[in-house]
Structure 1
Amino acid sequence: MQIRQFQAQRMQAPRDFTPIENTPICVEIGAGKGKHALLFSGQNPQHTLYAI
């Protein structure tokens, strides 16, 4: 079985994409039910949180 190689140059940004400028980005891995993410984002509105 042959697997296609990822080609980043073929990717397009979503049509409604707006880049986030000068905003700290935080990533939470293992967010569970999201309680910590809700508390954190409420206390840190200047950050962008991605909870996975």
Structure 2
Amino acid sequence: MRQYVAGGVQHGQRFVGGHPMTGTSQSGWAATDPTLFHGAAWAVGVDAGTHPK
């Protein structure tokens, strides 16, 4: 993933990493829930190299 992000940034693209704060204790196709992300909070990762806009 890093190589793709770094390549894009070199060409003027911007990237901010994020991860939804949601999930269940179940796994596999049988645990599929189409509403899992509804209303979920997101953790956004920024660092010193993150563009302010």
TM-score (norm 2): 0.27
Quick check: which has more Rg, 1 or 2? Answer: 1
